[in-house]
Amino acid sequence: MIGSTTKRDLRTGRSLWADSSGLGVSVDRLAAPISVDVAIVGAGVSGAFMAHELSKTHSVAVLDRRPPLMGSTVASTALLQWEIDLPLTELAKKIGPQKAKRAYLRSRRAVDALKQVVAEERIACGLKDKSSLYLAGDQHGHRALEAEAAARAEIGLDSRYLGPGALRERFGVERTGAVVSSGSASGDPARLAAGLLRRARANGARIWSPVEVLQAVSDPDGVTLLTDADHAVRAKSVVFCSGYEFPRGVPTPGLDVISTWAMASTPRQRCPAWLRNMLVWEASDPYLYMRMSGDGRLIVGGEDEASPVAHSDKAKLKRKCRTLAAELRRLLPHVAFEIDYAWAGAFGQSTTGLPRIGPVPGMEHTWAVMGFGGNGITYSVIAAQIVAAEVRGEGDADADLYRT
């Protein structure tokens, strides 16, 4: 028992999505050297968006040392948000108002693009449109959130401030204020990535697993990847989509790997009706967030810690779940949460809340996408758009935002 009574065996350490159906992706064993236009290192959701996009125009090989999706993708709670970890008002102080505005608007468009790809490719991943409820907390109080809602509205984003009375009346939540925003979504991240990889395969891409990339050597004509399969991969371009396992030798200024925890209730969890259509998160450190899944589970996460390894501590997982359950009770006292799954994972973080997407310094024809935060999957979409444009020799007007 953790936090509250459970009738079933608690699947400690196992992510909810590891048991999803429809995760099958055919892979090949690297038994000879290969040569392609683009090699993508990593078969998580970032590699999947990248492969899906680039396989429309190029021959693509995706390489992973694990089976596909088994990095942080399968651990993700998949709140598909355009809101960045850092509020617009705070981001403006760090990178200037014009760039902050562009970053927020680009994220907003990326969530729309994600929805469009899922619809066009008919990927069954339980995608559901949601609004978000961002609650005042110890990092940003009600005044800051009122200013945040106004700043977002001024650049055309659909965000509205709710005072404590309106928040209580509409959601039954006791906080000093909140921002309600439309345009986000949620889904099953593993089925999303599996669906994208299958579409990439249908376009001719091949997925090689297990293959560990040990070294990348670039020259004026392309890049050679040395692998533990004893066969090299030659590519005109290479994209590292290796998640929180930063490629060796690539500088990562301002990027950190931290640990985070999550748990899911049994299906058909009794919850307030509004929660089915909302993503909830709070402006606190450590913070709590939650959303419901298609089969009526309540998924709760947070309690981030500045350690790249704490997520693998089993005893800590139990303690973190107790804390998450207590925080949930404080926020929604009438929800009797019955834990079915509990897990933890590594997570990227940057000082601006923006990831690093761009060429690897000193290495021709090579890109890296790194440092995804709380809205990492939105950044997987943006990374695929920017890198694919550059591989095709086109530019992306927002590329500079993700190069600091």
Beta-carbon neighbour count of residue 312 at 10 Å? 14
Nearer to ligand FAD, 87 or 243 (CB): 243
| Distance of closest approach, residue 154 Cβ to ligand FAD, in angstroms | 25
Q: Which has the closest alpha carbon to 180: 278, 302, 106, 90?
A: 278
> With respect to ligand FAD, which residue has the nearer C-beta, 137 or 353?
353
Question: Which residue in this structure is represented by tokens 């997925």?
Answer: 207
Locate all alpha helices (DSSP H) within 34-96, ordered by sequence: 45-54, 88-95
Angle between helices 376-391 and 45-54 (to 10 degrees): 30
- Closest CB to ligand FAD among residues 237, 260: 260
Judged by the rule CB under 6 A, the positions of this chain that interact with ligand FAD are 41-47, 63-66, 70-73, 75-79, 212-213, 241-245, 260, 262, 301, 345, 347, 372, 374-378, 380
Q: At closest approach, how far in Å is the CB of 248 from ligand FAD?
A: 8
Q: Name the residue nearer to ligand FAD (CB basis): 161 or 341.
A: 341
CA 350 to each of CA 79, 241, 373: distance values in angstroms, whole numbers, following the listed order: 19, 17, 7
Closest separation between CB of residue 165 and ligand FAD, Å?
29
User: Which residues are CB-neighbours of 204 under 8 A, at least 6 positions away?
Assistant: 55, 59, 60
Work out how close the CB of 291 gets to ligand FAD at its nearest, in angstroms, rounded to a whole number. Answer: 8
What's the Cα-to-Cα distance from 58 to each of 68, 170, 234, 392, rounded to whole Å? 21, 50, 14, 9
Give least dist CB 76 to ligand FAD, A: 3
To ligand FAD, the closest distance from the beta carbon of 210 in angstroms equals: 8
Nearer to ligand FAD among residue 161 and residue 194 (C-beta)? 194
| Residue with smallest beta-carbon separation from ligand FAD | 376
Of 142 and 297, the one with the shorter C-beta distance to ligand FAD is: 297
- The helix-helix angle for 88-95 and 97-120 (nearest 10°) equals 120
